[in-house]
Amino acid sequence: MSESNANSPKEGLLVRALSGLIIVLMAALVLDVLWGVGSRWLGNLNTKLQWGILPNGQAQWTEELARFLLVWVAMFGSALGFSKRAHIGIDWLIDKFHPGTRPIFTILARLIVITFTAVVLLYGGWQLTSRTFASGQMTPALGIPRGFVYLAVPLSGCFILIQSVRDLLSPRTPSDTP
DSSP string across 137-167? -B-TTT-SBTHHHHTHHHHHHHHHHHHHHHH
Distance CA 69, CA 16 (A): 19
Question: What is the count of structural domains for the chain?
Answer: 1
Q: What is the pTM of this model?
A: 0.81
Residue span of the structural domain in which 110 resides? 3-176
Residue 50 pLDDT grade (very low, low, confident, very high; cuts 50, 70, 90): low
Distance CA 148, CA 95 (A): 40
The pLDDT assigned to 94 comes to: 82
pLDDT tens, position by position, 34-45? 999 888 887 776
Query: Which of 88, 166, 152, 77 lies closest to 122 in space, CA to CA?
Result: 152
pLDDT tens, position by position, 51-87? 655 566 677 899 999 999 999 999 999 999 999 888 7
Name 19's Cβ contacts closer than 8 Å, sequence gap at least 6: 80
Residue 137 pLDDT grade (very low, low, confident, very high; cuts 50, 70, 90): very high
The pLDDT assigned to 85 comes to: 84
The pLDDT assigned to 91 comes to: 74
Burial code (b: 16+ CB inside 10 Å, e: under 16) for 86-114 equals eeeeebeebeeeeeeebeebbeebbeebb
Residue with the bigger pLDDT between 30 and 92: it is 30
